[in-house]
Structure 1
Amino acid sequence: MEPLANKDGITAEWLTDALREGGHLPGGRVSEVEVEDIGVGRGYISQAVRVTPTYEDADGNPPASIVAKTPTFVTLPEYLRPWAAGIIETEVHWYRDARAECPARVPVCYGGTFEDRTSYALLMEDLGGLGTLSQTDSCPPDQAPLVVKTLAQVHAHWWESKRLQEWAWVPTTEQQSEISTPLVQGGWDLFAERIVPRVDPSFLPIGERLVRDWATLFERGAASGATLIHGDFRIENFLFGERGTPDEIVILDWQLAGYGSGLRDLGYFIGQGFEPAKRKAISDELVELYHATLLEHGVTGYSFEQCLDDYRLGLLASMFIPLIGIRGLEALEPPPADASEEDHESFRQLVEAAEGLLALMAERSITAAMDANAGEVLGV
């Protein structure tokens, strides 16, 4: 499967070869492709498109439509490029190696290849008929327990698993700390100037300690029980189907998967997935459910008290995307003047959506951390 420089590389010939290589088109060929942008405004690391193939003399049951991830039209700031390359490669490997044994429902992968951050492709099952939620929404209270139980089952499956050392592509806590610490520290001044005073000025000393000692979040959480985490476990990365069916919840976007504390995922979801009043009403119940589900699925030696401390660390860790995003958004370069109007419009939509999303994520993260007295676990 040949990597791509952008979505324009998705041709009938290329898709025929990719599907054949993956065993999804044993006979016949793709004669035409229709490519449609999806998820505009949801991210600037990759571009997601829906590919609808027309087949000629096809054998088997090839996919009627496909979601493809390719390099984006956005020029990333230089300081973000190594991080972006790493997370793209991680997702390709996750679908190759980890997907088959993941206890949660995730999209089928039809093929993936990675050369570098400007040359890759990932082909996945199109589940566009399932329900979605915007990050600006609150996760419905009747869906939240399902999300948390599913998350705990995933974490229990890989809890202290030797597989995580066998897979060289899984970022270790040291690797995550090494690449993320300068990103977080580089975004703090803007975050402290623009976000903290508006949300809660009393968070300032906690935030200063957080970015200074960022590595402790990785070290402390992993020390009490490490697993394979999702890393971006928020409601825009879930799809919801009919209850009681295999598609009742599907988890997307595994770019930030890595080795670490599962409570980073839980803190991210609870801290950013609800309006503050709704979060206060349900958070204790969800943490208890998460811990109980871990124990039901074989995790031992992990006390509820330790779980609570790790959860508070997870709430603080959920600042990661807002901290790096506020700086990254300012440094984004628009498409060149001779780029298509479609690319210029997509860029405008991306920036507008990202500004609103980052502000919301930051506000929810700070409020959740303050409500849980999370600064206490940092000694503040």
Structure 2
Amino acid sequence: MTNLIIPASMDEVTPEWLTAALRERGHLREARVIDAPRERVGAGVGILGELARIALVYDREEAGAPASLIAKIPTADPGGRDVAHMLGFYEKERRIYDELADRIGVRSARAYYAAGDPETVRYIILLEDLGGLRLGDQVAGASAEECYRLVREVARMHARWWNSPDLAALDWIPRGNDPVNLMAAVAYAQAVEPFLQNFGGELTEFERDMVLRYMHRMNPLQDRFSQAPETLCHGDLRLDNIFWGSPEGDAPLTLVDWQIAVKARGPYDIGYFLSQSVDPEIRRTHERDIVRAYHEALREHGVDDYPWEQCWQDYRTTVMWCLAYPVVACGSIDLANERGLALAKAMLHRALAAIRDLEAYDVLETLEERPHPLLLEAAAARQEA
């Protein structure tokens, strides 16, 4: 339990505060931080957090003291911060770095310090600086070789938690269809109109109809991929959250940003990545082999009761579900943010191509409409007005 006051902004992450935080977790003994110049990082990559790379200047040399680190706090945007807090993103990520990072089953960024206060929505995580590694670029897209490397590592993590009692004990990580995650349908409904206004001209008539039909089938679809077998999924497995390699050179990749971690079927992570971080031509050429490599890696790590046919169907279902990401992103993006806009459009066109290629829209015909209760309340209020 920390006794430190949690900074409300990066300006409050002072040399004195950093000294206390690093000493509290045993990363400093005698040395003191006397200067902490910083630069903003991650602009146009994430929208729910503010990140800064901080160089650490000490009053003396000390073995093992970090030369720099990444500080992560909630976004200053009130709307984004409130949504992330409502969905439990900040508290979840703090606990993952505090409690799971060293046993999660895949190389994750290490935390020097993590603390949070849900009442004030103040959170901070001090992470190792991975700037010496190559960060993925979701706009550019992943190569086939990177896809194979990723799915094999993710399969190792999934196998670690597959239907495990350890997973059941993590009651603070929600399932895909827990109430907090069903709220995604509300976010989607709010984004649909501005999405169609700004990007509807880039869709075919069939795709526009599919976007609208999907809106009230999201929650039933979440039920589909939230049934056993379940595992721990990263939840936001996209190229911008992947560093290739590790500082020690002992891992093929390092994952960051665990805010949307979820309990779900393993192909949830794979479908999300391949449908939105890989250009369609590469995906089409290698898709089935990449998913097969994931399935084979699951078996190598002890998952022997999950048939290939079920894995492939779960993958297709996820690709349909993941239409939610580009619609919400495009419906809420600041059109002046050039990198963010390029990312949102890449996600959209890749997702639509994957849905078409796999005919993943077929799953919609098997689902009944079930609008989220908040959407029904809003519709009733409009009728009364």
Query: Normalising to structure 1: TM-score of the pair?
Result: 0.88
Q: How many residues align?
A: 361
Q: Give secondary structure in 2 for the equivalent of 1:250.
A: strand
- Give matches, 1:337-348, under 5 Å: none
- Give matches, 1:95-174, under 5 Å: 95-116=97-118, 118-173=121-176, 174=178
Check whether the contact 2:174–2:181 (CA below 8 A) recurs between aligned residues. no
Corresponding residue for residue 310 of structure 2: 306
Check whether the contact 2:319–2:351 (CA below 8 A) recurs between aligned residues. yes
Amino acid at match of 2:129: D
Corresponding residue for residue 362 of structure 1: 348
Answering whether residue 261 of structure 2 is matched by residue 257 of structure 1, we say yes
Query: CA offset at residue 224 of structure 1?
Result: 4.1
Corresponding residue for residue 369 of structure 2: none
Distance in 2 (CA, whole Å) between partners of 1:169 and 1:242 is: 28
Query: CA offset at residue 60 of structure 1?
Result: 4.0
Distance in 1 (CA, whole Å) between partners of 2:332 and 2:81 is: 10
Distance in 1 (CA, whole Å) between partners of 2:160 and 2:214 is: 30
Check whether the contact 1:199–1:367 (CA below 8 A) recurs between aligned residues. no
Amino acid at match of 2:353: T
Query: CA offset at residue 193 of structure 1?
Result: 4.5
Query: CA offset at residue 101 of structure 1?
Result: 0.5
- 1:378 alignment partner, one of 355, 364, 368: 364
Corresponding residue for residue 47 of structure 1: 50
Distance in 2 (CA, whole Å) between partners of 1:162 and 1:203 is: 41
Distance in 2 (CA, whole Å) between partners of 1:153 and 1:138 is: 23
Q: Give secondary structure in 1 for the equivalent of 2:19.
A: helix
Structure 1 residues 78 and 12: CA distance shift in structure 2, 3 A: closer
Check whether the contact 1:70–1:122 (CA below 8 A) recurs between aligned residues. yes
**Residue ranges of structure 1 left out of the alignment (5+ in a row):** 333-347
Query: CA offset at residue 118 of structure 1?
Result: 4.3
Structure 1 residues 247 and 302: CA distance shift in structure 2, 3 A: closer
Corresponding residue for residue 376 of structure 2: none
Corresponding residue for residue 296 of structure 1: 300
Q: Give secondary structure in 2 for the equivalent of 1:99.
A: helix
Query: CA offset at residue 21 of structure 1?
Result: 1.1
Structure 1 residues 77 and 143: CA distance shift in structure 2, 3 A: closer
Corresponding residue for residue 225 of structure 2: 221
Amino acid at match of 1:372: L
Distance in 1 (CA, whole Å) between partners of 2:44 and 2:237 is: 18
Check whether the contact 1:69–1:122 (CA below 8 A) recurs between aligned residues. yes
Q: Give secondary structure in 2 for the equivalent of 1:142.
A: helix
Distance in 1 (CA, whole Å) between partners of 2:137 and 2:106 is: 21
Distance in 1 (CA, whole Å) between partners of 2:241 and 2:181 is: 24
Distance in 1 (CA, whole Å) between partners of 2:10 and 2:93 is: 18
Distance in 1 (CA, whole Å) between partners of 2:196 and 2:308 is: 33
Distance in 1 (CA, whole Å) between partners of 2:351 and 2:161 is: 27
Query: CA offset at residue 203 of structure 1?
Result: 2.4
Amino acid at match of 2:12: G
Check whether the contact 1:45–1:71 (CA below 8 A) recurs between aligned residues. yes
Structure 1 residues 273 and 77: CA distance shift in structure 2, 3 A: closer
Structure 1 residues 274 and 227: CA distance shift in structure 2, 3 A: same
- More moved, 210-219 vs 63-72: 210-219
Query: CA offset at residue 43 of structure 1?
Result: 2.0
Corresponding residue for residue 92 of structure 1: 94
Answering whether residue 275 of structure 2 is matched by residue 271 of structure 1, we say yes
Check whether the contact 2:40–2:52 (CA below 8 A) recurs between aligned residues. yes
Amino acid at match of 1:268: Y
Corresponding residue for residue 15 of structure 1: 18
Distance in 2 (CA, whole Å) between partners of 1:167 and 1:241 is: 28
Residues 350-380 of structure 1 deviation map (CA, whole Å, 9 limit, x = unaligned): x232222111111111111111010112227
Corresponding residue for residue 371 of structure 2: none
Check whether the contact 2:143–2:282 (CA below 8 A) recurs between aligned residues. no
The runs of at least 4 aligned residues of structure 1 exceeding 6 Å deviation read none
Corresponding residue for residue 381 of structure 2: none
Q: Give secondary structure in 2 for the equivalent of 1:43.
A: coil
Distance in 1 (CA, whole Å) between partners of 2:361 and 2:284 is: 18
- Report the identity percentage: 29
Check whether the contact 2:130–2:247 (CA below 8 A) recurs between aligned residues. no
Distance in 2 (CA, whole Å) between partners of 1:19 and 1:320 is: 39
Check whether the contact 1:36–1:49 (CA below 8 A) recurs between aligned residues. yes
Distance in 1 (CA, whole Å) between partners of 2:299 and 2:362 is: 26
Amino acid at match of 2:332: G
Distance in 2 (CA, whole Å) between partners of 1:232 and 1:19 is: 29
Corresponding residue for residue 379 of structure 2: none
Query: CA offset at residue 91 of structure 1?
Result: 0.9
Amino acid at match of 1:6: S
Query: CA offset at residue 129 of structure 1?
Result: 0.7
